Structure 1
């Protein structure tokens, strides 16, 4: 196939997929079992996505690197549009699956739009809770890992404690945390911090211990003190492992956030998902899952962007 024709086909794939999706949406009649929405929200979201993609493609003409990256993802976007169209066809146009557990894409996107203010409020609450717990867990994990990895006397006492407490699932501490802390909020912050603390501690200590002793000996010969050896030698050399600990910590913090918000909270995305499940409104469950998945993916993407900026010598070694 001619290279130019192939390139044009790649650029048009998402738009052809969107047209096919619209044909499936309007040409096949509804099964009559799904709740009808006030507007074709699925088509509105699809149109908005196509317009955003078109703007990005135009921007890619001027920003060559961005355009090249975007071009490589176009077949995936086309496949994603067709996959969602197929799901919507099965859910809303046929009677193959129970409506209660498999709402149409129209219902899910409609709920995201109609309850956007309420969902944003819950998202802000979840972000605040997550941020407090993550910062606390990151600081305690970093300094405990630093002490554990650098000082063998601290490691003698702290290592057994870390090995004993760390592997315990965070959710197992929920009853104890709710009993010890005076408020549910304080207990939730502690549980998220605990979920972050263990992987950050473990990977920081591992990174410090893996630093060659030659680095410390050379720096000491040149007159470096303890502070310099720790923060200018050990920490920079351990950055790959520290960022890996951060990666595991973020994933654990999101899992813990969902668990703690389902216990005693009156707001938050986790609470919202649990509430929607309890009233058997699974379009809300799927909407909440989409929000938390997008948020977690965005945070991890930003983490790897920061990692590539700080550790330029390892840029692209680990991709997300």
Structure 2
């Protein structure tokens, strides 16, 4: 016959099994050994050894600078990866992201090794068109100020052009999607001028604008505005009429229908237009800086090519790729925040 104590106090078997269950849970939640990280550490260590122990093939009367520094950097990366592999808990909350990047860390080390062997060690790829990885280290160490100034100039130009183009394209798209009269007059213009590359308008734009800076801003804004306008128009025009009917029955005004019904429903399409416009803005930015603007990464590329400084050119291309990728990542973050209320409804 059971008593109250039997229901309150745990049974002896349950008490004995509790530590085993707790230990099992800890084992299940404890991070496993990071084998991919160990492979990445070995790959980076091999890269450092190849770079340091294999003599460089002389180029002219000089050798490649920063070879030892590049080897030491590779060894440092290998040491960090080895520590993270043997101490998985050191990763903390960043463990999933770092572990996910493990195969890329291995591939990156192998790619650098192939690059190093065929340029600095064997000279198969002819200089100065092809330079080893340590030449990029030399550029970043000696010419970082000019690269930073050029990246800042490109960011300012890009931010102004995209902001103006996105605002103009958004307003134009809403007008076309909402007003039949505006669609009658504006839609044919978009159909004719939209497919024309913005860089083709560069000579004409130099005539109408007082400086190459303002010309570049106009062309970047134009390249951004067209896809934003088209996708915004498509989003506003595609809103189901039942949404408008429900809002009207509740006494909604035309402004309410536009601001609180049409625009929120069209926001996913607006962001698609922004992503498309960024590609046109990047290409227009580089062409404008190469042909007219006296600052920026495009100008830096032209300057490096003119002096046959191909390592500087490759270094600028890497900075450009990271910069543009960062802008797209920021737009993804902005999209997720703005459209958080549509999570589960809109699939990307």
What TM-score, normalized to structure 2? 0.83
Cα separation, 2, equivalents of 1:186 and 1:55: 52
1:40 aligned counterpart, secondary structure: helix
Match of 1:306 among 316, 331, 334: 334
Cα separation, 2, equivalents of 1:41 and 1:185: 39
1:287, CA displacement in angstroms?
A: 0.6
Show the counterpart of 1:23.
49
Show the counterpart of 2:18.
none
Show the counterpart of 1:217.
245
- Which is further off, 181-190 or 71-80? 71-80
1:62, CA displacement in angstroms?
A: 6.7
- Report if aligned partners of 1:204, 1:242 keep a CA contact under 8 Å in 2: yes
Tell me: CA distance 1:24–1:155, structure 2 relative to 1, closer, same or farther (3 Å): same
- Report if aligned partners of 2:55, 2:121 keep a CA contact under 8 Å in 1: yes
- Which is further off, 201-210 or 43-52? 43-52
2:34 aligned counterpart, secondary structure: helix
Per-residue Cα deviation, 1:279-318 (whole angstroms, up to 9, x for no partner): 1111111011000100111111111122222223447943
2:236 aligned counterpart, secondary structure: helix
Cα separation, 1, equivalents of 2:322 and 2:32: 32
Show the counterpart of 2:8.
none
Match of 2:181 among 123, 134, 153: 153
Show the counterpart of 1:285.
313
Show the counterpart of 1:231.
259
Show the counterpart of 1:246.
274
Cα separation, 1, equivalents of 2:266 and 2:103: 38
- Which is further off, 47-56 or 79-88? 47-56
Per-residue Cα deviation, 1:15-60 (whole angstroms, up to 9, x for no partner): 1121011122123221112742156343355456567868998897
- Report if aligned partners of 1:42, 1:110 keep a CA contact under 8 Å in 2: no
Cα separation, 2, equivalents of 1:53 and 1:106: 21
Q: Does 1:79 find its partner at 2:96?
A: no
- Report if aligned partners of 1:41, 1:110 keep a CA contact under 8 Å in 2: no
Over aligned residue pairs, what C-alpha RMSD do you find?
2.6
Cα separation, 1, equivalents of 2:267 and 2:77: 37
Structure with bigger gyration radius:
2
What TM-score, normalized to structure 1? 0.90
**Could you list the runs of 5+ residues in structure 1 that have no partner in the other structure?**
none
- Report if aligned partners of 2:84, 2:91 keep a CA contact under 8 Å in 1: no
Q: Does 1:89 find its partner at 2:117?
A: yes
